[in-house]
Amino acid sequence: MKTFKKIGLVSAVAFALFAFNACGDDSGSTSASAENGSLSSAVEDDESSSSINGDSSSSVIPGSSSSVILSDSEGSSSSVKGSDTADVSSSSVIPDPDRESSSSSEKSSSSSAKSSSSVSSSSSEITDYVGLPCEGILSDGNTGKIYLCVDGRYVLYVPTESSSSGPYEPFDQTLPLEKFKEERYKTFTDSRNGRIYYYLTIMGKDEDGVKDTIDVMAQNLNIADVTLKAGENMTDDTKIERYCYNDDTTKCDRYGGLYQWAEMMGFNDSCNTKSCADLIQPNHQGICPKGWRLMTRHDFEVARSSTEYGVRGLRSEYNFTGNNESGLSLTGSGAYFDQRGFADLDSAFYMFYPSESVFQDKVQALDQVISRYTDGSGASRGSKFDALSVRCIKLK
């Protein structure tokens, strides 16, 4: 029996090998050091604001009474209404210098492949390979052949004589989990695209101090039928659409996809401009795999309270200044903001909750931001047109 290994999406180095015109890794330009300046707050109070930087702390203190007051039903993914939730227009930490189905029809982003003709220029042979969902690179474990995803199909890559280095190795997903060396983790395979996720059991307390246990993914969700570029909107309700940071699909391999609120929820895109609270279900699945649901504020609090370290215990040790005692392994996956594009790679983690927030007749999404520089954990309001990371919880 032949064995195939999906090995992810290529980096700028691999693009040079394949002679692609790919986007480079801009993490250097988007991350910021704590010493080089302050960051605007991701959580802005209705009456005041705070900064997120190396020298100051958030207006919401972990472990204390939060200025964010959620409805009693938030734990069941219901709508949140009121003026006690922190209001933020763009939900961003600004650095100083800075639904995939079996009928996969994902479009290539600028960082993977341009067209069949561009592959011709760097390959001496192109052969269709069918039978598996097309996403990224496929490696035949028996023959060693490599297939590229081009225009929704696999084509055989045969390097020219001038190619001298090996193919790009996909990101090692265990690196952000390294503190536990996989000992606490189990794996789950998403049948929609074959992607393997690490998950673990976390025991903590909810907002009311009641003990609870969750099985949560230790990685951000990465699923798509179509990968959009910056400026394109998620309007095709028949497909799961995503952004990859800086239009670079290798970033989706490493950090997961970025999804607008309605996309994450599995709703019509019109829900980005109006209230769809009546459509939100308890244990709302959204674009999570079957048997899983979207992470709620309740789940987040269980994870945050699971260690004595609060938010620091949620952040990965791997390039995100945490100790990862909880095992949740949050990374600085950044975001795509409707008003200003991609921002905050390696500086902040952003995630929507399956909830709405209505303030002064304006319907917004409720989201969570975790900065690498401070330990604030208050929820905030943001535009539904922003695109953030997704975490999933296993159904009990």
The pLDDT tens digits for 132-174 are 566 666 666 556 566 677 666 666 665 444 334 557 678 999 9
Pick from 383, 394, 204: which is nearest to 304 by CA? 204
Kindly tell me if the per-residue pLDDT of 194 is higher than 70. yes
Distance CA 358, CA 277 (A): 10
pLDDT reading at 229 higher than 80: yes
pLDDT value of position 4: 47
pLDDT at 277 over 70: yes
Q: Which two tokens stand for residue 130?
A: 């069918």
Give me the phi and psi of 351, to 5 degrees please: -150, 135
CB 134 within 8 A of CB 213: no
The tokens of 124 are what? 């001496």
Query: Does the pLDDT of residue 353 top 80, yes or no?
Result: yes
Give residue limits of the domains in the chain: 4-27+103-157, 35-100+172-394
pTM over 0.85: no
15 pLDDT above the threshold of 70: no
User: What is the C-alpha to C-alpha distance for residues 198 and 180, in angstroms, rounded to an integer?
Assistant: 12
* Torsion sign over Cα 319, 287, 263, 242: positive
- What is the DSSP secondary-structure string of 21-82? ------HHHH---GGG--EE-SS--SS---EESTT---SS-TTS--S----TTGGGT--EES
Q: Please count the other Cβ atoms lying within 10 Å of the Cβ belonging to residue 1.
A: 3
Quick check: 303 and 297 in contact, CB under 8 A? Answer: no
Residue with tokens 């980005």: 272
pLDDT > 90: what percent of the chain? 54
Strand order in the sheet with 392-394: 186-189, 196-205, 211-217, 392-394, 292-294
- Asked if 20 contacts 122 with a C-beta cutoff of 8 angstroms, the reply is yes
Report the distance separating Cα 101 and Cα 241, nearest Å: 11
In three-state secondary structure terms, 123 is strand
Query: CA 276, CA 269: separation in Å to the nearest integer?
Result: 11
- What would the pLDDT profile of 92-134 be if each residue is shown by its tens digit? 444 333 333 333 333 333 333 333 333 333 333 434 444 556 6
